[in-house]
Structure 1
Amino acid sequence: MHALILAGGKGERLRPLTDAMPKPMVELNGRPILWHQVIRLRDAGVTDVVFLVGYLGEMVADYFGDGSAFGIRAHYSHERTPLGRGGALRQGMAMLSGGGEPVIATNGDVVTDADLAELLTDYQRRRATNPTHCASILTVPMASPYGIVDTDGTGLVSGFREKAMLPHAINGGVYVLSPDIQALLPEVGDHEVTTFPALAATGRMSAVLSQEFWRSVDSPKDLREAAEHLESKLAVLGATL
């Protein structure tokens, strides 16, 4: 199975860490974010990873090389001029020779425990009954960026909640895509504002909601929370060995 990782982000909100490296190469517990993604993809059965690189992309290539040290085959799609995420995906998909097999695609800053097998199963099930189905995407509950104030019917405050979950889901930045989607991706631009709405309008996209840990590492706070989560997982693993 092939996977595409969007690894060209500059990560302006993570400066100065990203002054000298692309955002997906920022370290999380001593390893680049990309390392954590690659190992997770490998363990899910991915054999080939195409890194979609742009800003300081040579750092990604220098780190992963041919991928053999990480149990994968690594390939690189270099963005010579800014293509946007959709354009980068289109260029990367042109490198694949998967014989019609679906491909996993992910933003290069996502850290999650979501079950990739569940996402793949959803794609396969829907594709079996609808040959035009193009994408199964991960969604996650939306956390309020602000504290919630609860009140009773008279306006009296009854409590406060931090990081309360809202009754909405957001795009988790992890997808299982049909090769057919390549022709629908923009040559330049963002697939999430062009291709995805078009697929949704024609009933060719589904979503799988995950309650597992998920962070898009956009800020130092996100980086810290992702690191704390990984540390807690290691602590639990160590306690069970």
Structure 2
Amino acid sequence: MKALIFSAGKGERMRPLTLHTPKPLLVAGGKPLIVWHLERLAAAGIEDVVINTAWLGDQFAPALGDGSRWGLRLHLIAEGAEPLETGGGILNALPVLGDAPFLVVNGDVWTDVDFGSLPASPAGDAHLLLVDNPAQHPRGDFILHADGRVDDVGEATRLTYAGIGVYRAGILDGWRTVIGDTAGAAMQPPQFGLAPLLRHAMAQGRVSGQHHRGQWTDVGTPERLAQLDAQLR
């Protein structure tokens, strides 16, 4: 299995820290956030990691090299001046990711999850890691049913999407129809989010998930980065 680490965002909520450093390269516990992911991906037996870049993207190669220090092969994909968002980022990376299911990880989260605990071949289009709702997102995102299905309809208690999941390329089938006539759809390469495609797949019963009860942090503000740094140290 290959992995994709989303690393193209501008990190506007993290400013001024991200004015000169892309968010995944910000340091917590003595190492960049993305390095925590690389170490855990290598421990799970993943060998090829795609990193999409845009904002300050030229900093990744000097900071990470070719990945050999972790036993990985890194593939940096520059998206241009503007990030392609999550759906567009996956679509743009598919030639490198290939046809087999692949792991997707947000570059601005920290977690102690064992990536090897996620299925290598999900039954549907996606398998999501869900976590307890953090203080800044109390309502959560999706419903995890007892049979492992994930959906977006109903009044049941919701959990928060951790920004980590295993996907099949098929989730992008018919993406233009799903997202509609948006400005991003007309761009080359296209720019669009993944959420509408996930909800479309959920409506067809093609998304599963699991509840991670360990540690997880959405490192979305300088304050949360400082808290995580203190915790890890």
Smaller-chain TM-score bracket: 0.7 to 0.9
SS at match of 2:205: coil
**Counterpart residue type for residue 91 of structure 1:** N
Structure 2 counterparts to residues 143-162 of structure 1, below 5 A:
143-145=134-136
Which sections of structure 2, spanning at least 5 residues, go unmatched?
Answer: 139-156, 177-189
Q: Deviations over 1:61-117 (max 9, x none)?
A: 2212211122100001111243222101111122223xx432110111010112322
Contact 1:90–1:185 (8 Å) recurs in 2: no
Give the alignment of 1:141-180 within 5 angstroms: 141-145=132-136, 167-180=157-170
2:181 is aligned with 1:191: no
Q: Which structure has the larger Rg?
A: 1
Residues paired across the two proteins, number: 202
Q: Which residue of 1 aligns with 2:117?
A: 118
1:29 deviates by 2.2
Give, as a single letter, the amino acid of the residue that structure 1 aligns with 2:93.
G
Q: Which of the residues 205, 219, 222 maps onto 1:203?
A: 205
Q: TM-score of the superposition, structure 2-length normalised?
A: 0.79
User: Cα distance 1:146–1:118, how it changes in 2: closer, same or farther (>3 A)?
Assistant: closer
Tell me whether 1:14 sits opposite 2:14 in the alignment: yes
Structure 1 or 2: more strand by fraction: 1
Distance 1:62-1:227 versus aligned 2 partners, 3 A rule? same
Cα deviation for residue 177 of structure 1 reads 0.9
State percent identity of aligned pairs: 32
Contact 2:5 2:107 in 1 (8 A): yes
Q: Partner of 1:78 in structure 2? A: 78
Q: Which residue of 2 aligns with 1:214?
A: 216
Question: For residues 82 and 169 of structure 1, what CA distance do their matches in structure 2 show?
Answer: 27
Look up the match of 1:226: 228
RMSD across aligned positions (CA): 2.2
AA matched with 1:45: G
Match of 1:157 in 2: none
Counterpart position of 1:96: 97
**What SS class does the counterpart of residue 225 from structure 1 fall into?**
helix
Q: Which residue of 117, 127, 134 maps to 1:136?
A: 127
The one-character-per-residue Cα deviations of 1:3-59 (angstroms, maximum 9, x if unpaired) are: 000001221222221110111111112211111111111111110110011101110
